[in-house]
Each structure stands twice: as C-alpha cells, then as structure tokens.
Structure 1
Amino acid sequence: MVSVSPDVNPVLATLYYSTAIDSCNRPTPDYVHSWQPKIHEPERSSMRHLYRVIALTLLLSTTVRAADLVVADNGRTAASIVVAADAGHWEKQAATDLAKYIELMSGAKPAVVHTADAMRRPKPVLYVGSEALKARPALNAKLQAVLKKDPFLRADGIVVLRDGNRVYLAGNNDESHYYAVMHLLHMWGCRWYLPTAIGECIPEQERLAIGDLDHAYGSPFEVRHYWISWNGSTEGQAEFQRRNFMSSQRAPGMGHALMHYTKDLAPEGGTSFNVPFSELETAEHVLNKMASAIEGGASAISLAIDDGAYTNDSERDAELHANLQDKYFVKTSQTDPMMAFYANIGRLMKERYPESKTVIGGMAYVNVSIPPQRNHEVPDNMVMWLAPIDIDPNHGMDSVVSPPKQEYRDMMYRWSEIMDGRVCIYDYDQGMLVWRNIPNPSHMAFRHDVKHYRDAGILGIGTESRNAMAKVFTNLHIRGQLMWDPEADVDRMIAEFYKKFYGPIAGPMGKYWNTIYKAWEETIVTEHEYMTAPAIYTREVMETLRGHIRVAEAAARVLARKDNLTRNEKLVLERMRFVRLSFDTLSGYMEMVFAASTDADYKRASAAGMRMLASRLEMAEMNSTFTTRVIGPGSSANEPGGSPAWLQGEVKQYMDLLALTDGTTGSLVARLPLEWAFHRDPRDTGLGRGWGYKKADLTYWHANKNNYRTPDRRKDYPTTEWEMVSTDLYPPAQGILHPDWQSFTGHLWYKTDIEVTQADTDGKVHIHFPGLFSESWLWVNGEMIGYREWNTLWWLNDYKFDWDVDLSGKLKPGANNITVRCNNVLQFGGMFRRPFLYRVVE
C-alpha cells in the first residue's frame, strides 16, 4: 500500500485524482490553462519538489494500488458509518455530515451506527473518531508522530487510512475527528467557500469510491479561528470554520481587559490609560483583583491592554521607556513599562500561587507594539497577542514596496523570540478596517505571511472579521486552509474555486476576480480605509469588470433557460445574482467617489450613492452574511446620515456638499483645477524660501515628467523640484514616496492659479477643501490667511476631513494664486478630493 508523504498537500493525494472535483462536470475553461501565477524563485524550487513528490506518488499508486473501494454507486450504498454513541459534539457531527454529503454527492445515504455489528459485515465500513482508533490501535502512534511537540495550548492532527473495505478517519480531539472527515470530503471535491448554503460546493457523481488512502498530518498552529465583530451575522459560522479546519481553541489576551483591574488606580483627572505600568503597587493591586479567579482554578485571565494610547507621569516608566518614540502611533513607546508590569505579575503569582496553572494573556497593541528594548523576566505562563492594527494590510512581509510590513515581520520574529513562541497574531480581515461593502481580498498577503508565522514558531492566528462576504469573499476560506497547512497551494485553490463555484460561467467570472486580485496585487497602497479605494478600483479596472460581468450574465441566461436545473446549477445562478449585486454596489460606490473627488459633481455623486445603498440593501436581503448590519434593529440601510466614517454618512456628506453648491446653503463659484503644482519639502525649507508667495517653477517637470510615470520612478523624483499632482487622490498613492518606498512624511506644498471675475468676488466667498489630511496653512496671493489644526493620528479627526476658509475680500478680479502647505506626520497626507469656491447663501 502506498503512503502519501506528509509533505504532499492532502488534496493532491491519489484519491483526489481518482474522483470528480468539478461540481458541474464542466471542462476546465481556457483562462485557467492560460493563467500563469507569479511565483517567486524560492517558491519555484519548493513547487518543483512538490511536483516530483506528487508525480512519484501517482506513479506508484498506478502500479501497486488496490482496487477502489466503492462507497456508493448508481444511487445505492451498502456502506456504514460507525461512531461512538457517546461521541463528542464535533465527532458526532462528523459522522452525520459524512452521511449527509455522501448522499448529496451520490444520492445514497449510508447508515450511521453506534454498535460493533458493522465490524462483522463484509460491506464498506467507515470508522469515525474514537471508534477508528479503537478498531485500529496502531493509528494512535501514527497520529502522535505528526502532532506539534509540546504544545502550550493544544495540538491538532488527523490520521486517515483505508485497509480493504475499512476506512479509518480520526483526530486527536473532538474537533480533529471532524477535520479527518473533512479531509476525506475535500479529497472527494467538496468545498465550503462561504458560510451558509450559497458557499457550499458538493460535486454530483453516481460512483463514489476510495483508492489508496494513508495519510497523517498535524497543523503547526494551535490557534486557528476568526470571530465576528461589528454586528456581523454568525449564520453558518461554526460549521464553516470546522469545514475549513479552524477550531474553537482560544488564548487569553485577545480581548481588551486591563482597565477592569486598573480603573480605580486612575489619577485624579485621568483615566486607566494614565496608570503607571511598572510600579510594583500596580501589579499588587491587579493581582489582588485576580485572586478569586486564580483561587477558583481559572484556566486563563486576560490582562490585555485597552483600546487607546497609554501615557503617564511615572518616573519609573519614564526611565524604562527612555522617551523612545513609536512612529506608528506618534507616541512614546510604552512596551518596556508594560513588560515590567507583566514581569511583576508573573513573579507575584509564583510567590503567592506556586501551584497555579492559570495562563495570563497580554496584548502588544497601539503604542506598546514595538518589542521591548530591555530584558525582562517574562512569565512562562503568559501568552502575548500581537495586533498590527495600523500596519499595511495589502502586502506580504517581504514585499519591497512595503517597508512597514517588513518592519512588522522583524517585530513579529522578535516578539516570538522574547515570548519563546507564546505569541498569537490578532489578525484583521477585512484588513482595510473602515471600508465599504466592496471586495477587499487579502490572500495575496496572507499566503506569504502565514509561512513567516509558522517559521517564527508562534501559537497561531485569531482573525477579527466583519464576516461581510461582499467584502471578504473567499478570504476566510483561504485563511482557514492556510492556518491548517501553510504550504497549501493558493493558486490551485483559486483556479479550482472558479470551476466549482461558477461552473459554466467560470471563464468570465475567473477573469472578473482575477482583475480584482491583480489590482490589489499591484497596488502601492500601504494605507487602510475607504479613502484608498480610487487608487485600487480605478476607472480602467471598473470598465474591465463591467465587461466581464456582461459576458458572465449572458452565459448565466443560457443556463437559466435550461429545463430541470440541478441543485448546483441553481446555486450558480444565485451566485451570479450575488456578484451582480456586489458589482452594482462597487460600481455605484466608485461612481459616487469619482463624481465627488474628481469632478466635484455632487448631484451625480449623491444620486450614485443612493443607487448604491439600494443595491447594498438588496444584497443584504439576499443573505445575512453578505453585508454588515444593514438589516435589523438600529440600522438605517437606505437613509443617508451619521458619521462619514460609515457608508450612509459618506453619502450624506456629498448631499451636504450638493447643498453647499446648488443654491441651498451656498452656490458654486468655481471648481479649482484638478491638477496643482506640488513640492515635497522633507527638510522644511519652503517656508524660508518663500514658496507661499513665489510662483512654482515647473521647468524641470515639463522637461522630465515622462521619466517619472511609474511609482518606482516617481518615488525618486528630486525633492528640489516642483512637480504636478492630482487633488483627487492622496499623494502617496500617486507615487509621492521616499526612495525606500516609505510613505512620504514631511511638508507638502500645493499651488495653483485661478481666474475669477468681479462678480465672482462679491459676497461671502469661501474656499472648501472637501478632502484634506494634515495640519495645513493657506496663502492667497502671497498672504497667509488660514491655519487648520490636526490630530496627528489621522483617524482621531472628524471623518469629513474637510476644511472651509472664508476668502471674503481676499480674491481680486483676474488671476489669483492659491497655496496650501501641509505637514504630513503619518501615512495619509494632503488632498484627496478636489477643492472648490462657493458663495454662502445669505
């Protein structure tokens, strides 16, 4: 009998090739054959090795393999599934689901039994869970051999074996028994791409058989899960997670908790964020509050810091942090004081409770994210969560265009070293955080990052997800597969996804999603949030998507005319409708953004926004998991309003701008030019050189601009020269970067001329910047007339990001020079919506 090497992805084992994988039995579309994924050279070597192993496995299997074991054929089965009567929840569910999906695939449902009677039957028997290990005790040793050694929390592994007409499917715990059955179903071609039935791909095949099967595997990660935030629907979550090899295992420290122990230590006029970390009194106070839980045998207690930046007046803390600055949060790094606190807690716990098994959890977050610079006695009963909330979510850790992600890689390895591997990653998906109901794929980064997590020896990954499938789509499926096996072949997963999920419309749908994935793979955007959308979903990308959707819908109409549609064909049509609504939401949103940001046409922007809200509502009504909190108590799905941080608030912002320009509260005088002269000022020399009142010299730009058309060239544009930028996109997204690809920080200068008439200058004329980051100053005709304050942590400002300045008496008939100076300290900076002049209605 042939053993499948543990190095081979389970889905590529012999059995996979002997059974159908296409839910609609369609030939592979041309685009799948022609699509050549980008593979870095180190990956090519490992892939060549993998192909050699697979080829050898297949060659051997054709020469010595036993006859297939037929489980079902022509709508009939004589097979039984054996599971213990006292099986755990997921062990029992494994047997139930195995029978369920065999029936869905073949039309024949095996009996699920709890007795040993099946052992005496000559027919096929599939043993699940503890019954498999009892019937074949030798499997225990094989299972133990692949489990992670000396796990801190728990190890997960599976063993699957066919011997004649007996099949054994087991894991080392309740959930792992389920994974063993999922392994078999995955090999039969079953997939669960999204929660709920719409994401389920179950092939239909008359004959269901098992060839050679001998495989054992253990995941390197002890923690693999996602939790749902922001009122996302939990429908189908539990089953979806297990069907993608995620688990219920948690580690303390994932949730903010420290203020519950320290709030009564807050100084007068302060908060828990001002409590000293390193003072012994703080640790003693906290431990006293932990006492009842420890004495009660609590398995874990979270002491994770809270959601905010810490600062205090402690001399001891000041000595420890030595005024080191955290550039990501523009605050003093408090990591060393925090680690001193945890060291004090650990030492006091051992003194007071030497026999305690309680695990404590901490969190490296906000201005305690950079690893400590001093040595600390880290408690050996402690887990640390690393939460990179403001680190580039769009690129892998080795991406040359993302220095922030490279820095995060080095921070992660250092944290793992300090904690002896007891680190969990607090992962974010959607990674763009304050986003819209539009696709935010992330496998391009995670497929690389997960290998670093494995190599660093961390405990695992817990993902905060909105669970809005219109945003994350297959992200969670791919995450689950990679958490289980970091070597899983993502390119193959995506290629087979198109076939299984879209069947006869896989060709255009594959092109549709490949267009989206390519836009994200090639972006230079390292920032997060919805203001980045036009840098990714450009007008060219949107037109390409529109063409692919039309072709897909034409193919879907042909399918819809067919009589007696199968279950899978009906699902294909549902999925087509989902993609159409998703595209309508995306195209409506981008039309709104382009109309507002580029054209300053708020009538068109408002109309597009209302159409987009209607599409989003229809999508939400189709499935509870497609969007976040659109339907239900407290939601106002179709009503503009609220903070512009959220979708309805952004629509309302454009409606307010319409009122400011259509004669309601103001009337438009002039749209300012879309492109302005621009100067980088990294050493703050522009003020002294008089850029506020001198004309911009664009001689160098006009002579050399064609040499700086791509981001890799534009980042190297000389900082001694003026250039041109667009005001509808923030500068870093246009290639205004430091030579090492870091987002440009320092001062930025914008300058333009505008012609006005005498009538234009009458009344209360204002200049309005509807989208402007940064601390800013305004000059008109050489005179500084306005100053705008700004919180350097840009997300703490009003999400309108606007600035309005009264120009009454400052404009003159004819040419007027307008200059804006910005001080960009962190990431975003400068303009991202086109400015305009308006007259206040009195």
Structure 2
Amino acid sequence: MSRAFTILCAVLVLAACGKQGAASPPPLGKHDFLLVEGGRARAVLTLPGDATAEERLAAEELQEHLHRMAGVRLPLSGSGPQVLLGRAAGQWPDRAADPASFRLVVTPDRVEVLGASGEGTQNGVYELLEQLGVRWFMPGELGTVVPRTDTLALAVQETVQRPAFESRHLQVGSEGKDEAWKAWLRRMRSGGPRFPSAHGLKLGPEGSFEKAPELYALFRGKRRANQLCVSNAKTVQLASGQVRRYFRKHPDASWMGIGPNDGDGFCECPRCTALDAGAKDPVLGLPSHTDRYIWFFNQILKNIEGEFPDRKLCFYAYYKCTWPPVRQRPDSRIVPALAPITLCRIHGPNEKCPDAAQYVALLKAWCKLSPEVYERGYWSNLADPGLPFPMIHRMREQIPLAAQLGVKGWRVECFHHFASELPSLYVAMKLMWNDKADVDALLDDFYRSYYGPAAEPMARAGALMDAALRDGDYHTGSSYDMPYLYPAPLRATVGELLARAGKAAREEPYSARVQPIAASLELLDQFLLMLERRNQHDYAAARQALSRAADLQKELIDHRPPLLNARLAPEYLDRFFRPAVEEGHTRTSGGNRLLAGLKDTWQFRLDPQDEGERQGFPEGGPEAGWKPLKTSSTSWRTQGVPPDARTAWYRQTVKIPPGAGRAVLWFGGVDEKAKIWVNGRLLGESPGKAFEPFEVDATSAVQPGKDNLVVVKITNQWLNELGTGGITAPVMFYRP
C-alpha cells in the first residue's frame, strides 16, 4: 500500500476566474469553510506564540498566494473563524512519523493545518493551496498558476498525507542555488534525508600519491592516482582514519559518502583482483569491482565501530560497481545509491527496451541485499544540448516500481531543461510524494491549467513527443539517435500542433508558455539539419544551422529562471558537435578545397583478438568478414555492434581527382583512437581524444585520378558514451 494517502471530501473554489483561472467551479456548499468572500477576509490566521521559521514561512506562503488570488490577506489577529497553522493546531501524536507528514482538517468554522514538523506544516499549506487551484509546474513566475477570484472556500474534510519515499530530491547544477528553484522544490514537497555520497576518498597528507604511490591503483603496469589500491592494509588504515575524523567533526551526521573516483583506472594488483568475484556487467561486459569495494567498506566499518557503531557509509552503485557483490556480504550499514550510467537513459523499466530487464534486476538485487537503497540515476539525457526529452513514460513506470521494491528515496541528477522536458520533473515530484498518483489526471490538469485555450494542441504535441521516446527502439547516449527518435514527419506534425497552439494562445501568460516549447522544437530541427548537412560535407549550411541552434539555446537560457541549463546545454553543443562543423567549414573554404568526401557507409569488421595488422587488414585483405556499417549518421549500438567491442576496422575506396596536389585526410571525430593507412601506407594515429577532429597528411600516399583505399583501425578502450564507437563524424580529403 502507498505511504501517501488522502481522505478528501471535495474541493471548491468559487471564482469569477480571470486570465490564469480554469473552468468555472461548482457552487458553494453551505457547510464549506469560507476564507474570503466578496473580496473580504472571513477568517483569521493563527500561529503558535513561539512559531518556528518553517511555521512562519508556511504562513507567509499562504498569505502571499491568497493575496494573489483574491487581493486580501488573512489577518494574524482578531475574531472570527480560525485557520490554525502548525502547533497552534495541537501536537503531532506520533513522534516516529515522517516529518513531511501533515493533517488538514476543515470544519464549517475551523481549519487546522498540522505537520509532524515545520516541514510537514508547510506541505499541508501547499496541499491547501493546490486544492484552491494554485499550481507550480516549474520554477519562476511563468510556471506558477494562480486563479483569480473574490471568494475562496474549502470543503469540509480530513486529509492526512505522508510521503511515499522518505527522501525526495532533484540534483541540478548551478541553478540549484537559484531561489526560484529552491522555492519550487519546497512547494513540490521535496525533502527528507539527502543521500551524501560523492566520488572518491582522500587519504590525507600521509597518504598522498606523492608520498605513498603504493596506496594507489596499479593500472597497466604503473601506479596511478585516479583510484586506490583498496587491498593495501595501509590504505584501509588511512581511509578508516579519514572516516573517523569526518564523524568527529560532524557528530550529528549519521552517514558519510565514500567510494571510487569517477572514471576508470581500477587497481590490477594481484591482491585487489583476488577480491573480485570474476563477475561482469551483463550489459557492457565490463568487469565488476563491487566485491572489492564492499570488502573495503566492511573493513572500514569494523575499524570504526568501537567509536561509531551506528554510522553508515554510502556509495554510488555506478560504472564498474553498479551490480551487487557476488561473494562479499555488505554490512547493513553500507547504503548503495543506484547510478546506472551504463544503462539506457531514454527508457525506464520499459519492456521494449533491452536494458529494462537489467534495470529491474539491478534494483531488485540491491533491495534484497541491502536494507536501505537509494536511487541516484539520471532524469536527463546526458551530453545532450537541451533537445526535447520528455520523460513521462519513464516516471509513470520507474517511480512506482521503486516504491514497490522498497527504495528509500531519490537524489536524481537532472538538468534545468524545462523548455525541453516540461512537465516531466513536475510529474516526478508528484509521484515521489504519492507513487499511486494518477499520471493521466496530472497531465490533463497540467495542460488545461498551464496552456488554457491552447491545451488541446499542446497535449497532443506532448503526447506525440513522449510516445516517440517511449516506443523508439533506440538506446544510444547523447543525441546520436535523435534523427530516428524524431523523424521529419513527426516533427512536422508537432510543428503544426504548436502553430495551432500559438494562434489559440494569443493572450498572456499562455502565449509566453507556448513559445519556449516551439523554440525547443526549432532547436531540434536546427540541430538535426546541422547533422544532415555536416554528414553531406556541406559545412557552410551546417554552420548556419549550428549558429541558429546556439541562438535558440541562448534565447531559452536568457529567460529568468533559465529554461535550459545555462552551462551544460551550450557546453555539450560546443564540445561534441561544433568542432567538426567549424573545422570542416574552415578546411573547405577560404582557399581550401574539398577533394573528396568519404561516404557515410564503410566496410567494417571487428577484431576481438587484435590480429588485423598481422593478417593484412591495412592492405585491404582478406575479403571475408567485412560488412557495411554507417558511421556519422548512426551509432554502433543502433547497428548491433556488441557493447564490449574494443578493436574494429573500417575500409573504403575513394577517387581523388587528377591534379589534386597536396591531400590531407581529415576526420570529424572517432571514439576513441584511430590508426590510418592509405593505399597500404601508414600515415599516423589520432591523438586519442574521443569525438575530436584530427587530420593526417596523405599527399605521399594518394594516387590522384585513381581509386584510393582508406583503412582505419579503431581502438575503443574506454566507455565514452553509451553505444558509441568507431568513426562518429564525417571523413574527407581536402587540399589546403
């Protein structure tokens, strides 16, 4: 049964609704409690004499919103029916209750809003305001819906609610410091214990890499600072000391974050590898190191339990520590938070997604093994420049499943991408409070309240975009699958619906609410046009589309609060897509000349034993085993290349025009290291940085006027993005 429940008779808002109002409310019942009648206050607001800051804020929120609705503030003293807030309404009977819980009692002559804490009282006020029609769909004024009315009434009721999850947090970047974001989270009833973990653990001055390199990972024959040698007794000793110091410095802290650093480079010494169970990530085929880290955490807890017997260690179940241990039994004081970065981020536990079963199995396994499990996943499209990414389909499946399996709470990484994701995070917060919430009813209320006369076309557009992600059999990270998830006919249909919505929403605030969604669709169109023109070697047109995409990003970022993440949206566009377009344009203009653009489709083969050079692949042979594979237009995963592929070969024949003169072979990007031959001659290697352009001088190897064999060996040693690998951008010969 859900931990959130409501006993609610009815809700009435008697209003002559203004521009932000909804449909006409039902008539006033004779037993309802009147807050405001005919523009005059009918009730008195009462706080305890020693009101806490949280109780005072609850009163301020109620006063401010009622003033915006009806133009009046309830007096804080005087005679008349009372609205009792917090401890003015009594004492919460159960000291063990979740502090976010509240009770809202309405009789014809009295209202009581009592929380299990000040936080709970605030939540009760937000419930009251929502019953009156107030909505906070996203941070800031644009996302706030406040009906205009001169009469406000509450139905007789007793409503008791407590959250479905003890912990309900969204984690964003710099926008997390914004007051509008903080206020929105509070009104969405975010709260509870915040999972503390982060990457890494420093060993202190005595254990620095410079002084004691033997405490750090032996990786590829060298000691490296990125990870610890956790099997080293001195590492365990120093780590235990650091944990003791933390709890001494923070005596009220019940837990501490600990774990591997982000990235790879795990220790390969015999003692550390002996702690592993030999298990592999079932999706990527990567070795699992969870056992060694559970052993490490267990040792630390044993070392500190004399002084701190009840303190907990928290870590991210992430990357090579995603899957539960096989041999080691974690101490009950070890708290994992799932951060399944290696699983599909487009879909949730969707039966159409090949990663869905793995996610469900992962969640079940950890919940069975550990008494306290948190979710620290990704409600965003990582490394994406802010393109449309609705996640309603994920929320309606993932959050109830987590409640069913006993997940304690959430600290989910997300972006401040309200232009491209609305109302995903709103729905997520509603489900984190009540996992049994009716998502369809939430959506219906959102479209009617937020878009007013444009509700119908906006709802249809939103449903189409959400269904495109839900039903699309594409699972690559970043933006590589966007052309397939959002094909041109779908975008045209959505564009027509948004145009209809724009005509219907002529008045504010509805026009201002439709416009960012239209801008988000145009951003998608321009981004996909940029990719299309880039892949056709039309770099001038690609550059023009890229410029327009950047302008649209800025338009959405300049909104206050921003409607796209101000740092990451442009950073991802500039990091992953701008270099190939700008360099391609430079190398085909201003006196430079495109000699030959290589085709998107190459001949391809895997080389699992790395024997291709010995077998003559650079010269083009043997013939058997090659198959066609696309490069810049789609990903390895979409084409069925296995996720554990490490070495692969490409070849293509291209004619260089007569009299070409100097010829440079340019690559827009590979994942991640390339070795290049032309006509059997080795020309060089790439710098080894994933997705970045590079070039080699091919003048000495090309044969102008003839077919030239280009052969590329790719080594893909690191997981740079889900489902990527090989040649990821256009390739061409140009003459400087």
How has the CA–CA distance of structure 1 residues 721 and 175 changed in structure 2, closer, same or farther, with 3 Å as cutoff? Answer: same
In the alignment, the residues of structure 2 paired with residue 140 and residue 231 of structure 1 have an alpha-carbon distance, to the nearest angstrom, of 38
Tell me, yes or no, if structure 1 residue 394 matches structure 2 residue 346: yes
Give TM-score, length-normalised by structure 1.
0.76
Q: Larger helix proportion, structure 1 or 2?
A: 1
Match of 1:737 among 636, 640, 659: 640
- Structure 1 equivalent of residue 658 of structure 2: 758
Match of 1:77 among 29, 41, 53: 41
The Cα shift of 1:765 comes to 1.9
Report the aligned-residue RMSD: 3.9
How has the CA–CA distance of structure 1 residues 238 and 340 changed in structure 2, closer, same or farther, with 3 Å as cutoff? Answer: same
How has the CA–CA distance of structure 1 residues 723 and 272 changed in structure 2, closer, same or farther, with 3 Å as cutoff? Answer: closer
Tell me, yes or no, if structure 1 residue 799 matches structure 2 residue 691: yes
In the alignment, the residues of structure 1 paired with residue 644 and residue 200 of structure 2 have an alpha-carbon distance, to the nearest angstrom, of 33
How has the CA–CA distance of structure 1 residues 576 and 425 changed in structure 2, closer, same or farther, with 3 Å as cutoff? Answer: same
Q: Which moved more, 1:749-758 or 1:488-497?
A: 749-758
In the alignment, the residues of structure 1 paired with residue 555 and residue 296 of structure 2 have an alpha-carbon distance, to the nearest angstrom, of 51
- Structure 2 equivalent of residue 89 of structure 1: 53
The Cα shift of 1:678 comes to 6.0
Amino acid at match of 2:670: L
Deviation string 1:335-382 (CA, Å, 9 cap, x unpaired) is: 11211111111112223x16x55443333223222211113351x444
How has the CA–CA distance of structure 1 residues 88 and 243 changed in structure 2, closer, same or farther, with 3 Å as cutoff? Answer: same
SS at match of 1:267: helix
Tell me, yes or no, if structure 1 residue 546 matches structure 2 residue 480: no
In the alignment, the residues of structure 1 paired with residue 33 and residue 650 of structure 2 have an alpha-carbon distance, to the nearest angstrom, of 73
How has the CA–CA distance of structure 1 residues 304 and 129 changed in structure 2, closer, same or farther, with 3 Å as cutoff? Answer: farther
1:604-683 correspondence to structure 2 within 5 Å: 604-629=541-566, 645-647=572-574, 650-664=577-591, 666-676=592-602
Please tell me whether the aligned partners of residues 676 and 683 of structure 2 are also in contact (alpha carbons under 8 angstroms): yes
1:285-324 correspondence to structure 2 within 5 Å: 285-295=238-248, 297-299=251-253, 300-312=255-267, 314-324=269-279
In the alignment, the residues of structure 2 paired with residue 804 and residue 205 of structure 1 have an alpha-carbon distance, to the nearest angstrom, of 71
- Structure 1 equivalent of residue 32 of structure 2: 68
Amino acid at match of 1:112: L
The Cα shift of 1:804 comes to 4.8
Please tell me whether the aligned partners of residues 635 and 725 of structure 2 are also in contact (alpha carbons under 8 angstroms): yes
Tell me, yes or no, if structure 1 residue 438 matches structure 2 residue 387: yes
Deviation string 1:268-311 (CA, Å, 9 cap, x unpaired) is: 87445443224443332223234344345242433233223352
In the alignment, the residues of structure 2 paired with residue 656 and residue 307 of structure 1 have an alpha-carbon distance, to the nearest angstrom, of 31
- Structure 1 equivalent of residue 214 of structure 2: 267
Please tell me whether the aligned partners of residues 377 and 413 of structure 2 are also in contact (alpha carbons under 8 angstroms): yes
Deviation string 1:156-182 (CA, Å, 9 cap, x unpaired) is: 322222233222222212212111111
Q: Which moved more, 1:500-509 or 1:666-675?
A: 666-675
Tell me, yes or no, if structure 1 residue 809 matches structure 2 residue 701: yes
- Structure 2 equivalent of residue 42 of structure 1: none
Please tell me whether the aligned partners of residues 257 and 304 of structure 1 are also in contact (alpha carbons under 8 angstroms): yes
The Cα shift of 1:224 comes to 0.9
How has the CA–CA distance of structure 1 residues 663 and 368 changed in structure 2, closer, same or farther, with 3 Å as cutoff? Answer: same
In the alignment, the residues of structure 1 paired with residue 696 and residue 635 of structure 2 have an alpha-carbon distance, to the nearest angstrom, of 18
Tell me, yes or no, if structure 1 residue 345 matches structure 2 residue 300: yes
SS at match of 1:236: helix
The Cα shift of 1:800 comes to 1.7
How has the CA–CA distance of structure 1 residues 128 and 613 changed in structure 2, closer, same or farther, with 3 Å as cutoff? Answer: same
Amino acid at match of 2:348: G
Amino acid at match of 1:384: P
The Cα shift of 1:191 comes to 1.3
In the alignment, the residues of structure 2 paired with residue 413 and residue 260 of structure 1 have an alpha-carbon distance, to the nearest angstrom, of 37
Runs of at least 5 residues in structure 2 that lack an aligned partner in the other structure: 216-221
In the alignment, the residues of structure 2 paired with residue 472 and residue 802 of structure 1 have an alpha-carbon distance, to the nearest angstrom, of 35
The Cα shift of 1:330 comes to 6.9
Tell me, yes or no, if structure 1 residue 281 matches structure 2 residue 281: no
The Cα shift of 1:658 comes to 0.6
SS at match of 1:386: strand
SS at match of 2:84: strand
In the alignment, the residues of structure 2 paired with residue 193 and residue 230 of structure 1 have an alpha-carbon distance, to the nearest angstrom, of 20
The Cα shift of 1:574 comes to 2.4
Amino acid at match of 1:413: K
- Structure 2 equivalent of residue 835 of structure 1: 731
In the alignment, the residues of structure 1 paired with residue 629 and residue 197 of structure 2 have an alpha-carbon distance, to the nearest angstrom, of 48
Amino acid at match of 1:15: A
Amino acid at match of 1:572: Y
The Cα shift of 1:787 comes to 7.0
Runs of at least 5 residues in structure 1 that lack an aligned partner in the other structure: 29-60, 148-153, 561-569, 638-643, 698-719, 792-796
In the alignment, the residues of structure 1 paired with residue 342 and residue 694 of structure 2 have an alpha-carbon distance, to the nearest angstrom, of 22
In the alignment, the residues of structure 1 paired with residue 599 and residue 637 of structure 2 have an alpha-carbon distance, to the nearest angstrom, of 20
Please tell me whether the aligned partners of residues 103 and 124 of structure 2 are also in contact (alpha carbons under 8 angstroms): yes
In the alignment, the residues of structure 2 paired with residue 6 and residue 302 of structure 1 have an alpha-carbon distance, to the nearest angstrom, of 29
The Cα shift of 1:133 comes to 2.9
Q: Give the aligned length.
A: 717
The Cα shift of 1:460 comes to 0.6
Please tell me whether the aligned partners of residues 737 and 744 of structure 1 are also in contact (alpha carbons under 8 angstroms): no
In the alignment, the residues of structure 2 paired with residue 275 and residue 8 of structure 1 have an alpha-carbon distance, to the nearest angstrom, of 43
Tell me, yes or no, if structure 1 residue 429 matches structure 2 residue 379: yes
Deviation string 1:533-563 (CA, Å, 9 cap, x unpaired) is: 333343334333332332233233xx34xxx
Deviation string 1:134-191 (CA, Å, 9 cap, x unpaired) is: 4xxxx736x97xx5xxxxxx55322222233222222212212111111122222221
Please tell me whether the aligned partners of residues 481 and 488 of structure 1 are also in contact (alpha carbons under 8 angstroms): yes
In the alignment, the residues of structure 1 paired with residue 687 and residue 645 of structure 2 have an alpha-carbon distance, to the nearest angstrom, of 15
- Structure 1 equivalent of residue 89 of structure 2: 132
Identical residues among aligned pairs (%): 19
How has the CA–CA distance of structure 1 residues 185 and 807 changed in structure 2, closer, same or farther, with 3 Å as cutoff? Answer: farther
- Structure 1 equivalent of residue 532 of structure 2: 594
- Structure 1 equivalent of residue 219 of structure 2: none
- Structure 1 equivalent of residue 173 of structure 2: 229
1:572-583 correspondence to structure 2 within 5 Å: 572-583=510-521
Please tell me whether the aligned partners of residues 389 and 421 of structure 2 are also in contact (alpha carbons under 8 angstroms): yes
Match of 2:473 among 510, 524, 535: 524
In the alignment, the residues of structure 1 paired with residue 204 and residue 489 of structure 2 have an alpha-carbon distance, to the nearest angstrom, of 51
The Cα shift of 1:236 comes to 0.9
In the alignment, the residues of structure 1 paired with residue 146 and residue 475 of structure 2 have an alpha-carbon distance, to the nearest angstrom, of 38
In the alignment, the residues of structure 1 paired with residue 467 and residue 288 of structure 2 have an alpha-carbon distance, to the nearest angstrom, of 37
The Cα shift of 1:208 comes to 2.1
How has the CA–CA distance of structure 1 residues 694 and 306 changed in structure 2, closer, same or farther, with 3 Å as cutoff? Answer: closer
Please tell me whether the aligned partners of residues 230 and 466 of structure 1 are also in contact (alpha carbons under 8 angstroms): no
Please tell me whether the aligned partners of residues 222 and 459 of structure 1 are also in contact (alpha carbons under 8 angstroms): yes
Please tell me whether the aligned partners of residues 192 and 243 of structure 1 are also in contact (alpha carbons under 8 angstroms): yes
How has the CA–CA distance of structure 1 residues 541 and 767 changed in structure 2, closer, same or farther, with 3 Å as cutoff? Answer: farther
- Structure 1 equivalent of residue 103 of structure 2: 159
The Cα shift of 1:328 comes to 6.5
- Structure 2 equivalent of residue 492 of structure 1: 441
Give TM-score, length-normalised by structure 2.
0.86
In the alignment, the residues of structure 1 paired with residue 583 and residue 83 of structure 2 have an alpha-carbon distance, to the nearest angstrom, of 65
Please tell me whether the aligned partners of residues 576 and 691 of structure 2 are also in contact (alpha carbons under 8 angstroms): no
In the alignment, the residues of structure 2 paired with residue 292 and residue 7 of structure 1 have an alpha-carbon distance, to the nearest angstrom, of 37
Deviation string 1:670-698 (CA, Å, 9 cap, x unpaired) is: 2333445667888999997989747989x
The Cα shift of 1:627 comes to 3.0
- Structure 2 equivalent of residue 103 of structure 1: 67
Amino acid at match of 2:322: S
Tell me, yes or no, if structure 1 residue 476 matches structure 2 residue 425: yes
Amino acid at match of 2:640: L
In the alignment, the residues of structure 1 paired with residue 340 and residue 523 of structure 2 have an alpha-carbon distance, to the nearest angstrom, of 29
In the alignment, the residues of structure 2 paired with residue 651 and residue 357 of structure 1 have an alpha-carbon distance, to the nearest angstrom, of 51
How has the CA–CA distance of structure 1 residues 193 and 98 changed in structure 2, closer, same or farther, with 3 Å as cutoff? Answer: same
Amino acid at match of 2:161: Y
SS at match of 1:198: coil
Deviation string 1:601-657 (CA, Å, 9 cap, x unpaired) is: 111121222233233223322223223346xxxx998xxxxxx85537733541221
The Cα shift of 1:587 comes to 3.2
- Structure 2 equivalent of residue 566 of structure 1: none
SS at match of 1:491: helix
In the alignment, the residues of structure 2 paired with residue 257 and residue 15 of structure 1 have an alpha-carbon distance, to the nearest angstrom, of 53
Please tell me whether the aligned partners of residues 201 and 501 of structure 1 are also in contact (alpha carbons under 8 angstroms): yes
In the alignment, the residues of structure 2 paired with residue 259 and residue 365 of structure 1 have an alpha-carbon distance, to the nearest angstrom, of 21
Q: Which moved more, 1:615-624 or 1:770-779?
A: 770-779
